[in-house]
Chain A
Amino acid sequence: MSLLPIEQIEANFADIHPAMTPAEAAVEANRCLFCYDAPCMHACPTHIDIPGFIKKIASGNLKGSARVIFDANPVGATCARVCPVEVLCEGACVENTLLQKPIEIGRLQRHATDFAFANDLKLFAAGEANGKSVGIVGSGPAGLSCATYLARLGYAVAIYDRRPLAGGLDTYGMAEYKMTQAVSIAEVEQAEDLGVEFLVSTMITSSPPYEGGVAAASADGVVLSEERSISFADLQQRHDAVFLAVGLGETNRLNIPGEELEGVHDALHLIEMIKTREWDSVPIGKTVVVIGAGNTAVDAATQAKRLGAEKVVMAYRRSQKEMPAYDYEYELAKQDGVEFVWQAKPVEVVADAAGQRVASLRCEKTNGSGEQFDIACDMVIKAVGQTKMRSFFTDVASVEVDEKDRVVVNEKMQTSDPKVFAGGDCVNGGGEAVEAAQMGKLAAIGIHDTLTGETAKFAGGR
C-alpha cells in the first residue's frame, strides 16, 4: 500500500521542469544571443547546434528546430529532460556572465522535440540499403543512437535487448519526475520508423552457451521469462559488425551482514518499479536510509520522499565535499527535506526482533574514531554504484577490457576485435545519456568507415 493518496503521489512526480507554453518558449528563444561558434554547442557532448535550434523556435520553425536536435542527438528528447545542463550547455551559456541567467536550453529543446512527437514528424529517412547489417547489443542511448545513424546510412540494423521494452536506462532508469517512459519509447519508435529491428527480451550468451548463466544479467537480478537467447557467435555470423552498448551490471553489493533482509532494496530496482507508476506495488518505508551519495542515490532519496517516506537519510562514507552527485542534485535533495549523514560507513543492516525485516542501519564513523551508531529505519536503499560486466566482455564477446573492466576502444569506438565496436557506460564506466549518444554516433561513423572505407558526416560528429 502506498503511504500517500495516489493523487498526491502523482502530483509529487509531476515534471520537475514542466513544458514551456508557446509564449514562454518564444520569449526565451528570443533572449538567446545567437552566439557564433557558441560555447553551449561546444559544451554539449553531441554538439547540437543549439543557437540554430533556438533561433528556429524563435522563427516559428519548430519542425526545423526538432530536426537540428535529433540530427545531432537521436535521444535529444530524453537529454532535454535528464541532461545535467547546469554543467553542460547551460553552464557554458554566455548569459551566465551577462545576465546571471542562462538561456533555458534544456526546456527549449524539450519544446521542439515535444512538437516533433505531438505531430508524429518523420524527420529522417533510412538510407538506400547498402546490403550490410549491424547487430547492436543494448537499446539504451548509445545503442539507439548508433542504430539511428547506421539506418540513415542504409544499414540493416537489429538491436537486441534483454528487457521487454527498448530504451535501456532511458526507459527504466530515469527519475520519474524528470521523464516518463513515453519519451524514451517515442525515441525508440523514431528508430523503428527508420527500419531498425528491435529484438527485446533477448539475451546474448556465450557460444557454446555461457556456463555462468545469462551473461547480460539484469541489474536487479530479475530473471526474465520467455526470453530468447542468442549466442555471440550467432550474432557475429548474422551481422557484418556488432556494437556493444550493454551499459553496466548489477548494483554493487555492500558485503555486510543483513544485506538480504526484507526491506533492503537496490536503487535501480526501486527506480524501475516507480517507472511502472503502479504506486501501490512500489515498496516504500516510513524511514528510509539511502546508502551512497551519487546522482542515482539522490534520485532514489528524492523519489522515496515523493512516495511519502516521512524521513529519508542519505548515508555516505566520505564528506560532503567528496559527494559525487552534482551540486544541483544535492540542492534538490535538500529542498526535498532529505537529511545527510556524512562519514558514515555501513557495517550492518540490523534486523527486527523477528529477524526478518530491517530495523536499523549500523554505521561506523570514518573520521578515525571507530564510533558506531544506528540509524533506525524500515527501508534501506543501496546506491553504491554498479558492477562492470567483465565476464560478458571477456568470456562472451572476447574483447579487451582495461584495469577498471571498461571495454577498450580506439577513436572509431572499435574494440580489440575489429568487427566489434562498443560505446556508452560499458566504455566510460558510467556517464550521462548524452555522452552515450555521442559514442553511438561515433561508433556508427567508425563502423561505416571500417566496412566501406567511406567517411560518414553527421551533425556534431568528429
Chain B
Amino acid sequence: MADLNINFAGIKSPNPFWLASAPPTNMGSMIERAFDAGWGGAVWKTLGEPITNVSSRLAAIDHGAMRMIGLNNIELITDRPLEVNLKEIAACKKKYPKNAVIVSLMVESKREAWHEIVKRSQDTGCDGFELNFGCPHGMSERGMGAAMGQVPEYTCMVTEWVKEVSEIPVIVKLTPNVTNILPPGKAAQNGGADAVSLINTINSVIGVDVDTMIPYPNVNGKAAHGGYCGPAVKPIALNMVAELARDADFNIPISGIGGVSNWRDAVEFMLLGAGSVQVCTAVMHYGYRIVEDMIDGLNNYLDEKGIASVNDIVGRSVERVTDWGNLDLNYDVKAHVHEEHCIRCNLCYVACEDGAHQSFEFVESNGHRYPRVIEKECVGCNLCYLVCPSPGAITMERRDDGSNPQTWKERISVSPK
C-alpha cells in the first residue's frame, strides 16, 4: 500500500486528487459528498460578486459513439451570495479536517476588493486560495479571469496584493489562452505565489447546429465562445505543465489540470511535474465515484513499480522533455507487421499510402493478403502503429546500432558555415 498523502505547497491532502473549481464544487453539500467518495481535496467554485448565468451553458464534442471527449462551458463564477458560500466552507472544513479545502477567488482589479475577500475567506479555516486568472469567458469581458492571466504584470500585481494579507498558501490558476505559458507562470512566482495550477479552459466554439445554423450552446439564438475542457485538452495541458516544470527559473509547485479522467492521466501529469491534479469534466460526466478507481489504480501502479510514495513520481519525466534540437537525428526505427496478430483491416496500408511515406505493400502469406513494410521506404513515423486496431500487430523496431547519436544542435555546430 503506497503512501498517497501529499503536501502541496503547504496544503495537506490524503491523496493528490482534487476537484477543480467548477460546477462539481458549487456548494458544501456537493463537496461533502465528494469527500465521502474519496476525493482528497476540492477547489470551491470561484467566489466573487455573485453573477447571473445564462441558459443553456454547456456543449460538447463527441467522437464517434464516444460522448463528450471535449466540453465547452459558458457558466460563470458562483451565483450564490458570498456569505452562504463562506458559511458552507467553514462547516465543510470543520467536518472534513483532513481534506484540502481551497477557495477560488475572483474580484475586480482593486487592491481593497482583493484584500477584503481574502480576509473574509481565510476566516473560514480553508487550507489555501486559488486565484482565478484563467476563466476565458464572460468574466474576462469584465476585466477579470483570463484578462488578468494574459498580462503577466497584472498577474504579478494581484498576486502581490493577495499575498499581502493571505495567511495561507496561494495558488495562481493560469490561462492557456497565451502564446507562451512561461511569462504568466513566472509572473505568478514573482508575485509571491506558493504554487500555480493549470490549465484553465481554452477559448472555444464547440460547434454549430447545421440544421438551425446556430452555434452551441444556444442562448436564445446566439452563442458566445466558452471554455474548452475534457479529455481532448489533455495534451495541451501536459505541454504547458512540462514547459513550466523544465524551466530552470521556475521552481514552485504545479497543480495539473486538463482532461484528467483516470489514474493513468494523473500519473502522466505528475511525471511531468504536477504535485496534485484537479478534475472536473470526468466528474461532470460520470460523477464523484470515479475517484475510487483513481485511488485504487494509482496505488496499484505505485506498488507494481515499487514506489513508496506518490510524491516520488512527481517530475520523473521532466528531464525527458527537451527541445527538438536536442533529439538524436540518428535514432532509427522501422515499422514491422506481425502477421499472427494482423486482422487485415489494411488501415496501416492506406494511412501510409495517403498520409505518410508509401512504405507498405501487400504480400500473399498463408492464403491471405497481408500488409508488409518496405523498410527502405519507412521513415519510422509511427502512423501505421497508431492506426492499427490490433494490439501487437505492428511494432516499431530499432534499426540503428545506437553507436552514433547526433542532435541537430550538434550537427549545425560542426558543419562548416
Contacts and interface: CB of A to CB of B under 8 A. Distances in A.
A448 B71 CA distance: 56
B65 interface: yes
A362 interface: no
B214 interface: no
B351 to A, nearest CB: 8
B406 interface: no
A35 B342 CA distance: 12
Contacts of B396: none
B347 interface: yes
A328 interface: no
Given A35-B345, A36-B347, A98 B390 contact: yes
A58 interface: yes
Interface string B62-105: 00111000000000000000000000000000000000000000
Contacts of B65: 26-27, 30-31
Contact of B349 (A33, A36, A95): A36
B51 interface: no
A97 interface: yes
B382 interface: no
A158 interface: no
B350 interface: yes
Nearest to A92: B344
A458 interface: no
A37 B353 CA distance: 13
Given A26-B65, A98-B389, A98-B390, A34 B346 contact: no
A39 interface: yes
Interface in A249-266: none
A33 B64 contact: no
Contacts of A26: 65
Contacts of B347: 33-36
A288 interface: no
Contacts of A39: 344
A39 B342 CA distance: 13
Interface in B304-354: 343-347, 349-350
Interface in B8-48: none
A94 interface: yes
A34 B350 CA distance: 11
Contacts of B345: 33, 35-36, 38, 94
Contacts of B346: 35-38
A26 B346 CA distance: 23
A34 B390 CA distance: 14
A275 B116 CA distance: 83
A98 B388 CA distance: 11
Chain A CB count within 10 A is highest, among B345, B347, B350, B389, for B345
Interface string B371-409: 000000000000000000110000000000000000000
Contact of A97 (B64, B343, B349, B350): B343
A35 B66 CA distance: 20
Contacts of B66: 30
A34 B347 CA distance: 8
A95 B346 CA distance: 13
Main secondary structure of the interface of B (DSSP, over half): loop
Interface string A93-108: 0110110000000000
Interface residues of B, number: 12
A33 B349 CA distance: 14
**Range, interface on chain A:** 10 to 19
A30 B64 contact: yes
B64 A94 contact: no
Contact of B350 (A30, A36, A98): A36
Secondary structure at the A interface, as helix, strand, loop or mixed, is helix
B62 to A, nearest CB: 9
Interface in A1-27: 26-27
Contacts, number: 35
A27 B62 CA distance: 12
Nearest to A31: B65
A39 B349 CA distance: 14
B343 A98 contact: yes
Nearest to B345: A35
B349 A94 contact: no
A26 B67 CA distance: 12
Interface in A40-84: 58
Contacts of B389: 33, 98
Contact of B343 (A31, A34, A36, A94): A94
Nearest to A95: B343
Most chain B CB within 10 A, of A33, A36, A94, A98, is at A36
A271 B64 CA distance: 42
Contacts of A37: 346, 349-350
Contacts of A95: 343
A38 B65 CA distance: 21
Contacts of A27: 65
A92 to B, nearest CB: 10
A59 to B, nearest CB: 10
Nearest to A42: B369
A27 B346 CA distance: 22
A39 B345 CA distance: 8
Contacts of B343: 94-95, 97-98
Contacts of A97: 343, 390
A38 B64 CA distance: 20
B337 to A, nearest CB: 14
Interface string B156-174: 0000000000000000000
B260 to A, nearest CB: 25
Contacts of A36: 345-347, 349-350
Nearest to A39: B344
A68 B168 CA distance: 66
A36 B348 CA distance: 9
Nearest to A23: B65
A426 B117 CA distance: 89
Contacts of B390: 97-98
A31 B389 CA distance: 11
A110 B409 CA distance: 60
Contacts of A98: 343, 389-390
B388 to A, nearest CB: 10
Interface in A93-131: 94-95, 97-98
B120 to A, nearest CB: 49
Contacts of B344: 35, 39, 94
Contacts of B64: 30, 58
Interface in A171-229: none
A33 B345 CA distance: 8
A30 B62 CA distance: 12
Nearest to B342: A97
27 contacts: A26-B65, A27-B65, A31-B65, A33-B347, A33-B389, A34-B347, A35-B344, A35-B345, A35-B346, A35-B347, A36-B345, A36-B347, A36-B349, A36-B350, A37-B346, A37-B350, A38-B345, A38-B346, A58-B64, A94-B343, A94-B344, A94-B345, A95-B343, A97-B343, A98-B343, A98-B389, A98-B390
Lowest 9 CB-CB distances: which A-B pairs, in order? A30-B64, A36-B350, A30-B65, A36-B346, A35-B345, A94-B343, A97-B343, A27-B65, A94-B345
Interface of B: 64-66, 343-347, 349-350, 389-390
Given A36-B345, A36-B349, 20 more contacts: A27-B65, A30-B65, A33-B345, A33-B389, A35-B345, A35-B346, A35-B347, A36-B347, A36-B350, A37-B346, A37-B350, A38-B345, A38-B346, A58-B64, A94-B343, A94-B344, A94-B345, A97-B343, A98-B343, A98-B389
